[in-house]
Amino acid sequence: MHPPAPPDTPITDWPDRLEAACARCPRLGLAHVRVLAETDSTQDAAWAASAGSPGWLVLAGRQVAGRGRLGRAWADTADKGLAMTLTIPAGALSPIAVGVALCRAIQHTLQPAIPHTAPHTTPAATVGLRWPNDVVERAQGRKLAGVLIEARDGVALVGIGVNVRQGPGDFPPGLRTPPASIAQLGGNADRLATACAILAQLDHSAAADPYTVARAAARLDTIVGTSRRLTCNGREFAGKVVALTPDGSIDLELPGGQTISLPAGTTSLIHE
């Protein structure tokens, strides 16, 4: 069992530190930072603050009505989780590139001696990517973080939620597989440090070509070769995952031998 996490950086210190971090990430083009003590959803807050334009970063000390893919809820975890949204030009970062960046940033919080300025070096990973948008710890498949990308009028809202400081009693009861947090894995459980690591890795991913990103995603993948059930447009499919494509689709081999491709935007894993 790991000792309690040290105190979190006070939220009053976040704006200046985040502005400095954004200045070190020129490819993201983030010119405005807003830190809110509490908000329903950083996605909605970012859209309102930015007036539908790119260049904004919005974080919340507490997000009380966050959402995930396909209308799912992201649980309120008081002031122990990280909720952030970037507004960037649509298409500037692929969903896979965001997932790779998030995975590497979290890995960095667990192994801080590994410089996060080495974007194409993946250490022996404690964490991996569970298609299409989850970062999980590999041992038990517990979720550490998730991504929600919403495109509106040429602007992409890149929403990121990370479990940073929670203990086992901080998550909703009754979940089939309880989530995990950076603190539970013995990492640097500071929300500001986590946000800065994510920004650095997103900036590196923005410079990488799709082939490099796809190779990185393949190394981090946790589901290729496994049998899975998925839903797509109201239909359920079961089979063996044989590939993940650069555009985010998933190739599934059905029991009869046929391989089908399911798009990320309307497809969801059924968690056993």
Residue 112 lies in a domain: yes
Q: Which domain holds residue 119?
A: 11-220
Same structural domain, 199 and 244: no
State pTM to two decimals. 0.87
Q: Are residues 40 and 96 in the same domain?
A: yes
Q: Are residues 205 and 241 in the same domain?
A: no
Percent of the chain at pLDDT exceeding 70: 89
Residue 4: inside a domain, yes or no? no
60 pLDDT more than 70: yes
Residue after which a domain boundary falls, among 220, 239, 255: 220
Same domain, 266 and 202: no
* 212 and 258 both lie in a single domain: no
pLDDT of residue 231: 92
Q: Do residue 246 and residue 152 come from a single domain? A: no
**Is residue 22 assigned to a domain?**
yes
pLDDT > 90 in the chain, percent: 68
Q: Are residues 173 and 253 in the same domain?
A: no
Distances (CA, A) of 241 to 236, 250, 253: 14, 7, 6
Adjacent-strand bridge partners of 162: 82, 145
| Residue 238 pLDDT greater than 60, yes or no | yes
Q: Please check whether residues 193 and 69 belong to one and the same domain.
A: yes
Distance between CA atoms of residues 201 and 196, nearest Å: 9
User: Whose CA is closest to 146, among 180, 187, 197?
Assistant: 180
User: Quick one: 194 and 265 in the same domain?
Assistant: no
Beta-carbon contacts of 39 under 8 Å, excluding residues fewer than 6 positions away, are: 45, 58, 60, 62, 63, 64, 83
What is the rounded distance in angstroms from the CA atom of residue 237 to the CA atom of residue 151?
27
What integer pLDDT is reported at residue 260 of this predicted model?
Answer: 95
Query: What per-residue confidence (pLDDT) applies to 214?
Result: 86
Asked if residue 11 has pLDDT above 70, the reply is yes
Angle at Cα 73 formed by Cα 71 and Cα 91, nearest 5°? 55
Residues 62, 157: one domain?
yes
Residue 171 has pLDDT above 70, yes or no: yes
CATH number at residue 82: 3.30.930.10
**Structure confidence at residue 128 (pLDDT):** 95
Last residue within a domain, chosen from 220, 237, 253: 220
Of 71-75, 101-105, 219-223, 247-251, the one with minimum mean pLDDT is 71-75
Does 130 fall in a domain? yes
Final residue belonging to a domain, choices 204, 220, 236: 220
- Per-residue confidence at 162, pLDDT binned at 50, 70, 90? very high
**Structural domains in the chain (count):** 2
The span from the CA of 79 to the CA of 126, in Å, is: 25
Residue 19 lies in a domain: yes
* Mean pLDDT across 181-194: 95
Q: Do 89 and 207 belong together in one domain?
A: yes
Please report whether residue 3 resides in a domain.
Answer: no
Same domain, 51 and 117: yes
Q: What is the dihedral of CA 55, 56, 57, 58, to 10 degrees?
A: -170
- The band of 114, judged by pLDDT with boundaries at 50, 70 and 90, is very low
Confirm whether 5 is domain-assigned. no
243-269 per-position pLDDT tens digit: 988 777 899 999 999 999 998 778 888
pLDDT at 198 over 90: yes
Are 50 and 155 contacting, i.e. CB atoms less than 8 angstroms apart?
Answer: yes
pLDDT of residue 176: 74
111, part of any domain: yes
Residues 70 and 230 sit within 8 Å (Cβ to Cβ) = no
Comparing 117-131, 159-173, 175-189, the range with the smallest average pLDDT is 117-131
Assign residue 231 the CATH number of its domain.
2.30.30
Placement of tokens 């299409």 in the chain: 132
Q: How far apart are CA 263 and CA 257, in angstroms?
A: 19
